[in-house]
Every structure is written in C-alpha cells, then in structure tokens.
Structure 1
Amino acid sequence: MTDDEAMADEFDTMAAWTADAVAELGPEHAVPAGCRGSGSPAALRWLAGRLGLGPGTRLLDCGAGVGGPAELAAREFGMRPVLAEPMLSACRASARLFGRPVVAAAGERLPFADGMFDAVWSLGVLCTAPDQAGLLAELRRVVRPGGRIGLVAYLRTVRRLPEQPEGNSFRTDAELAGLLSAARLGVLEQAELADFAAPGPDWQAAADRVDELIERRHGSDPRWQTARHQEQIIGRLISDGRVAGRVLVLSPA
C-alpha cells in the first residue's frame, strides 16, 4: 500500500463514515468526533485564546479534516472560520456536519490572497505534509501582518522510531526549529499537549460512540483496518514517549 492510499483511508474514507455515524447518533456527537487527532478541548481553547480569536476574527483552519476544532472555536469564541482540506470526502463531511465554508486545497497551495486572515491554525497536519517547509511558508503568507499562527506539531523524541506510520514524517525539536526559522516564524508561546486536561467523560463517550458505530459498520473493510492500524501505531509511539505533541503560537518574524 502506498502512503497516499493509507492517508486516504485514514483521513478521507473515515471522514465520510464519521459524518454518516453522526447523522445516526445525533448532532451532539459531531464536535467530539470531529476533533479526534487534533488535540484535547482544553488545548484547543488555550490555543484559541492565545490567537486572540473572537467575534469578527477571520480564522483559517488549514488541514481541517471534518472541521471539529474550527466548530468548537466558532461556538465558544464567536468567530466565523474558513476551512481548507485536501481530502474531498473530508470537505463534504465537514459541510454536512457544520456547514462552514470549506475549500479543497492542500496546505502547500492555499487559494487565498496574501494576508487574508487574522489568524491561521494547522492542527496535527505538519507531520503529514509532503512539503513541510512549503506548508509553513503558506501559513505565513496568508496571515495578516501582526496576525498569529497556531500549530499542533507531533515531534520525534528519539533518533529512530521502532515503527513508522505511512505518510508521516515526524521532526525533532531541532528540525522543527530549523523549519520555523526558514519560514521566518517566531515562537511566542508553546505548551506540551500531554500537559492539558483530558477530555471530559461526556466528550469522550460521544467520540467513542462514533468510533464504535463505524467499527460495527465497517470493521471488516480493509480501509477501516488500514486506518485503525495507522491510529494504533501513532498511539503506541505517543504512549511510549517516542512521539510527543506540542502546541505552538507563532508570529511572522
């Protein structure tokens, strides 16, 4: 299986199945299911506050998936997000779930004017980008002067990983610092994802119900099995401390 096929199973096919499951279970499941892999609600709220999100803020969610984090920010901070996502089924799923403006676009080639947004965030996307330097350069380009960029980055803490999920390239601290320097992005604040509170029981239960329904419906499908295998590898790497999530607030230098 190629990296592209594995990534499509994990991020495109699963997105469509997620929207179908939420349609059956109820809309209260949408945001918890849509935030999987993007950070805990506490981390997302911390980042939204540090980015200065509020009524009238123009936020771009780059690599938005099905749009859960952007919807959480919209509901709790009163702004109207725009989503960019390269996977077509994920775009359709986000439109079904939340109805926010979404464009099908890779983060390395955003179809927006320079300085169009007050804030940009990209959550758990950097390690999946074929051109990580290009992605960071585009985030910098589309944020206005004085605007802020939020990043959730998964970093490798060891020299070599015992197993490698398809389509992911985890950088070290030093490598991330080099990428940010080359993109002329300064770090204003940062926090470790593991230091934020875990989702509450109601939130977790809603997300789990969606996962359980998808497994009942599609567990024998090779695409579900591939996506699940990918998730399990990343989960082991994080639980073993070989990969760690970091939340960063960046400013164009």
Structure 2
Amino acid sequence: MSEIASEAMESEFGTVAGWTEEAVRALGPEHAVPAGCRGSGSEGALRWLADTLALRAGDRVLDAGAGVGGPAGWLAADRGVRAVCVEPMAEAVHASRALFGLPSVVALSQALPLADASFDAAWTLGVLCTTEEKPAMLAELARVLVPGGRLGLLVFVAEAPLPPPLPEGNSFPSPAEVDALLAQAGFAVTGTADADLGDSPPEWQRRADAVEAEVRRRHGDHPAWAQAEEQSGRVGRLLGSGALRPRLLTAVRSGPTASVDQVT
C-alpha cells in the first residue's frame, strides 16, 4: 500500500513487511491474509470492492501498491482472479511472492512496468494518499486497463486541514479532489461507500493481532518498529477523531487514456 516518501514509511512498509512474513511463517499460513491486509482494508471493504467491481474467475487484476499481498491474496482465493502485485518495497514484494505465490514486481504505481491494456481491473488500497504524483499514478492505471476496465480504490480523505502531528510522507486529498483526479484521468465513478475498517470477522482480527504481537516480540526494541508504530498511530488518531475518513470508490475507464501532461 505504499509509494515510499519518508524514512518512517520505509520502516512501516519495508522493514516491517519483512518481519510480517517472518511472523506468518512462524504462526501458520492461515495468518497470512489477515496480517497482509492490516492497513489495507477490512474483509468487508475488500468484499464490497470485489462485488461492486463485478470481479470474476479469470479476470486479470492489478493490485497497485500491494504491500505484502494480503488483499490480492484474498481476492485470488475468494474470486479466482489472476492477480498481479506492484509494490515499491522489495521486502514486501518478497513477502507477497512467498506467502501467496503471486506474480509481483518492485515498481512505483506512477511508473508501471506493464503493457497497455493488460488488465481487466485494478485496485489500489490506501495508496493514492501516499504520493504527491496522483495524476501520474491514475494515468498509469488508466493506461494498463482495457477500455471499460474497472478501478477500485480505498482512499483516506480529509474534508479540512488536519491537526498535527501528521504522518510522514502522506498527502491526503479531499473527496472533491479525488473525484476531479479520476475524471481528469478518464474514469467515471460507478460506486462510493464509507469504509468500516473494523468490520472483519473476529477470527480475522485475532490472527492479525497475533502476527503483530509476534513481530513486536521479535523486533519491538528495533528503532524501525517504533517508527512504524508512531506512523500508524498518527493515522489511527486522525481516523478516530473523524478528521480523516476512509472512502471506497469504484470507477470505469470511460474514455481514451490520458497522458500525464493532460492530467497535471
């Protein structure tokens, strides 16, 4: 879920990703999806996106900013799609390959090493708010989708200026900005919903918590763990106060692929 822009984000999405793989291997494969989805959406949010995007067995689906591959792993298992992951952190890419057997490549979502019109659908979960290059990212997603291809997003949006301390490296758009960026990139919005990131089944949450506890047991005294905890804590406080809101959207590529110059 990361387009890395700070040392804190590198700790959260890089170093901790490798530790997450290590902990899942110790605890068992049933922990992989819940742990891999932490911060990238609940089971209910993933199901809403999959249903609203009408994803079917055999669809070619891109997960852009895939983290350790939890959402893509869930999607491949639940819907039988052919999922491909793109993620800028090498540790996370290694985890997605090892834990889920997914084709994964190290790259930024605004510079996808993928052919034009090579996917039926794509999703990007909590990633648009981690880059200042939002137009380039959405233009790239439009480029790799077939005409009429579907896009799903989980975006953390801010209705007003956010109170400090802010998480490092994030750039949270307003709802109106998200809608305008999608339109400029050639997408027509087809569905929206507020995300409840706490609606996963109890067993899902228990397994995610067990992995977090195992990582803390092994690496809790490492500076990278403290950085990652502070980063996620800042996001959590903003969400808890209502200053930041998780928003789900689906869209369809409705016109010719826009160039980056056209959407900046």
TM-score tier, shorter chain, comes to over 0.9
Q: 2:146 aligns with which of 123, 138, 144?
A: 144
Opposite residue 12 of structure 1, the aligned amino acid is G
Partner of 1:185: 187
SS class of match (1:249): strand
Task: Kindly state the Cα deviation for residue 197 of structure 1 after the two structures are TM-superposed.
Answer: 6.4
CA distance in 2, matches of 1:26, 1:123: 25
Point out where structure 2 has 5 or more consecutive residues left out of the alignment: 255-264
Deviates more, 1:233-242 or 1:73-82: 73-82
Task: Kindly state the Cα deviation for residue 181 of structure 1 after the two structures are TM-superposed.
Answer: 2.3
Point out where structure 1 has 5 or more consecutive residues left out of the alignment: none
**1:138-177 correspondence runs (5 A):** 138-177=140-179
CA contact (8 A) 1:118 1:147 kept: yes
Deviations 1:180-215, CA, capped at 9 Å, x for gaps: 222121110010002x76111111000000000111
Moved over 4 A (4+): none
Deviations 1:122-149, CA, capped at 9 Å, x for gaps: 0110001231111111111111001100
Task: Kindly state the Cα deviation for residue 46 of structure 1 after the two structures are TM-superposed.
Answer: 1.2
Opposite residue 67 of structure 1, the aligned amino acid is G
Q: Is residue 10 from structure 1 mapped to residue 12 from structure 2 by the alignment?
A: yes
Deviations 1:92-114, CA, capped at 9 Å, x for gaps: 11111111100111000001111
Partner of 1:35: 37
CA distance in 1, matches of 2:8, 2:137: 21
Identity of aligned residues (%): 49
CA contact (8 A) 1:157 1:241 kept: no
CA contact (8 A) 2:34 2:207 kept: yes
Partner of 1:233: 234
Partner of 1:214: 215
Deviations 1:29-57, CA, capped at 9 Å, x for gaps: 00000001111101101111121211110
Partner of 1:200: 201
CA distance in 2, matches of 1:159, 1:168: 13
Q: Is residue 243 from structure 1 mapped to residue 244 from structure 2 by the alignment?
A: yes
SS class of match (1:81): strand
**1:55-94 correspondence runs (5 A):** 55-94=57-96
What count of residue pairs does the alignment treat as equivalent?
A: 251
CA distance in 2, matches of 1:145, 1:185: 10
CA distance in 2, matches of 1:210, 1:16: 12
SS class of match (1:244): strand
Task: Kindly state the Cα deviation for residue 237 of structure 1 after the two structures are TM-superposed.
Answer: 0.2
Deviations 1:49-76, CA, capped at 9 Å, x for gaps: 1212111100000000000001111111
Opposite residue 26 of structure 2, the aligned amino acid is E
CA distance in 2, matches of 1:35, 1:160: 25
TM-score by length of 1: 0.96
CA distance in 2, matches of 1:31, 1:41: 10
Q: 2:103 aligns with which of 96, 101, 117?
A: 101
CA distance in 2, matches of 1:214, 1:251: 39
Partner of 2:253: 252
Opposite residue 118 of structure 1, the aligned amino acid is D
Q: Is residue 114 from structure 1 mapped to residue 125 from structure 2 by the alignment?
A: no
Task: Kindly state the Cα deviation for residue 159 of structure 1 after the two structures are TM-superposed.
Answer: 2.5
Task: Kindly state the Cα deviation for residue 162 of structure 1 after the two structures are TM-superposed.
Answer: 2.7
CA contact (8 A) 1:155 1:172 kept: yes
Opposite residue 166 of structure 2, the aligned amino acid is Q
CA distance in 2, matches of 1:17, 1:208: 14
RMSD: 1.3
SS class of match (2:6): helix
CA distance in 1, matches of 2:175, 2:135: 15
Distance 1:87 1:245, change over 3 A: same
CA distance in 1, matches of 2:6, 2:94: 19
SS class of match (1:96): helix
TM-score by length of 2: 0.92
